Amino acid sequence: MKYMLLMQFSEKNVDFPAIFEWKPEEIQAHIRFMKETNTALAASGELVDAQGLAMPDTARIVRSHSGGAPVVTEGPFPESKEWVAGWWIVDCETEQRAIEIAAEVSAAPGPGGRPINMPIEVRQVMAAPPTEV
Amino acid sequence: MTTHEPADPADLADAVDDLLRTLAPQVVGVLTRRYGDFAAAEDAVQEAMLAAATQWPKEGLPDNPRGWLVQVANRRMTEQVRSEQARRRREELVAAREPGDRRSAPGADAVFEGTGEEGAQDDTLALLFLCCHPALSPASAIALTLRSVGGLTTGEIARAFLVPEATMGQRISRAKRGIKASGGTFRMPDAAEFPARLDAVLHVLYLIFNEGYASSTGAELRRVELSREAIRLTRAVHALLPDDAEVAGLLALMLLTEARGPARTGPDGEVVPLAEQDRARWDAAAIAEGVALITAALPRGPVGPYQVQAAIAAVHDEVPSADETDWPQILALYGVLARISDNPLITLNRAVATAMVDGPAAGLALLADPPPELAGHHRLFAVRAHLHELAGEREAAIADYRAAARRTASLPERHHLSLCAARLAESAS
């Protein structure tokens, strides 16, 4: 079963500054953790995809507009305090295992080496229709 | 099929791969001439190559590998032709009704310049001109070039660009249809259109190299295989057009840039800027070859943007430490480049060179009123941050490094820029 683990950054629920304001060794420890996590997930045969997204500063929100040109709003969006920072897609035996992986990445190190406890949303990726046996 | 004594199986598989990829464009050329249908010929050769890639490493090389591929691909073509026989017969009927002089005029699909197996080398070039047809989007031209001329499989190209194989397959089919729709022909461009068409080819090779070097997507900064492939193809073009100074310039630029590859990333995949790279890890042989190429090309002229960029890369690569860089010469070369090329990023590099010669304030002054293409661009913030840092303007440097980090779409670069900001912030406290 495939699960998408969405790294849901939220300014409301965190008590630490943005990564750009961390100490150099804290940034490096965080990068290393992410790299090692992905290497381990690939080694266990569970990694399907892992991607980081550019910051919301460069985001656009597009809405079609009946009878006119689509409306494009450019970021940054000062009102939005939550954004998707990236995701993993993992292929694992049980939902329990997906939750376990989510818990691991949620504990990625932040300032002072403390876990950042970022919320990770675990969503099952929809599959093809079941075979009729 | 006769065999050579198989050596180490892994070595043999590599040797087969190299040979196949050299032969691929030649075989596509032969069949395109024979049938006048590039799209079908290209598909048939792809199947023949897959057959060879599984058979040859096990059974050994045939006596005439190129002949083998032509024969197998030819069989595929005839099967295809037979299945479309009714349609073909109609077309032949139409052709027979046409006056002789019209039949010998260039067809829609191909121009037959002689027959037989001669001209294999020119075929590679003619195929490049076809795959880099100006009617195609860069992404389509890149995919088609890698498959038809580079001899990569659709799956390999898809993996290199991190897209599903079916998507890449469609991109290649669409590229072929695009060539057909725009009347692209399998022949060398005539003298009048040659320079513009060659520019298009070099641009595609340059993009393939950059895709491998800078990697526009994903977390890995270097995707070595694409840059090597670009060098291999550019080398082939240089061998076919040895007197063209821009071809030599592009090859030199690639070699001189790729030479720094091993020093360009740190242990965690982060970017290491030129000034901080361990130059002992640069590839000395590639630098020597690049320097020799550009030294020979420049006096030949006419000077073009690839030669100037190669000359700049050579000035950087030839000194043992960043402190010894000949910045006045680099500044002069960027002046030349700005006159012959309108890329706004040149403004940024020129500002850096100006700062190194006349001080950071002079560099920053050049960026006070940036061209509109650069407004909000992460590279503008990154360069400004660097110049502020050189000027000792710590707060401004930190703000610009953070702004650049927020805007880049490259993860290794974001790491690097965040670290630059963090180190400066730490040095204050």
What does residue B195 show for φ and ψ, rounded to 5 degrees?
-60, -45
Any A CB within 8 A of B407 CB: yes
CA Rg value for chain A: 18
Asked if the Cβ–Cβ distance from A27 to B422 is below 8 Å, we say yes
The whole-angstrom separation of Cα B89 and Cα B424 is 76
| pLDDT the model gives residue B224 | 55
Mutation target to probe the A interface, by most A beta carbons within 10 A, among B379, B411, B423 is B411
**Which positions in chain B touch A27 (Cβ < 8 Å)?**
415, 418-419, 422
Mutation target to probe the B interface, by most B beta carbons within 10 A, among A7, A23, A27 is A27
**Which positions in chain A touch B419 (Cβ < 8 Å)?**
24, 27-28
pTM here is 0.80
| pLDDT the model gives residue A83 | 84
| pLDDT the model gives residue A80 | 67
| pLDDT the model gives residue B401 | 96
- Please name the amino acid found at residue A4: M
The whole-angstrom separation of Cα A60 and Cα B328 is 42
- Please name the amino acid found at residue A70: P
Low-confidence winner among A11-20, A87-96, B100-109, B230-239 (lowest mean pLDDT)? B100-109
| pLDDT the model gives residue B217 | 43
- Which chain B residue shows the shortest CA-CA distance from A23? B422
Any B CB within 8 A of A48 CB: no
| pLDDT the model gives residue A78 | 66
> What burial class does residue A79 get, using C-beta atoms within 10 Å of its C-beta: 0-12 exposed, 13-18 middle, 19+ buried?
exposed
In a structure prediction context, what are the per-residue pLDDT tens digits for chain B, which is 429 residues long? 445 554 566 777 788 888 888 899 999 999 988 888 898 899 999 889 888 988 888 888 899 999 999 999 999 888 877 776 666 566 565 555 544 433 333 333 333 333 344 455 568 888 999 999 988 998 899 999 999 998 888 888 888 787 888 999 999 999 999 988 888 888 888 888 899 999 999 999 999 998 876 554 444 554 557 888 899 999 999 998 999 999 999 999 999 999 998 898 887 777 889 999 999 999 999 999 999 999 999 999 899 999 999 999 999 999 999 999 999 999 999 999 999 987 888 999 999 999 999 999 999 999 999 888 888 899 999 999 999 999 999 999 999 999 999 998 888 889 899 999 999 998 876
Asked if the Cβ–Cβ distance from B406 to A32 is below 8 Å, we say no
Average pLDDT for residues A93-108, to the nearest whole number?
95
Tokens of B136: 């195609």
Query: What is the interface size between A and B, counted as CB pairs within 8 Å?
Result: 49
Low-confidence winner among A36-50, A99-113, B201-215 (lowest mean pLDDT)? B201-215
Average pLDDT for residues A63-70, to the nearest whole number?
88
CA end-to-end distance (rounded Å), chain A: 19
Any A CB within 8 A of B411 CB: yes
User: How large is the angle between the packed helices B38-59 and B9-35, nearest 10 degrees?
Assistant: 150
Q: Is the pLDDT of residue A87 over 70?
A: yes
**Which positions in chain A touch B382 (Cβ < 8 Å)?**
none
Any B CB within 8 A of A32 CB: yes
ipTM for the predicted complex: 0.84
| pLDDT the model gives residue B109 | 35
| pLDDT the model gives residue B85 | 67
User: How large is the angle between the packed helices B165-181 and B38-59, nearest 10 degrees?
Assistant: 140
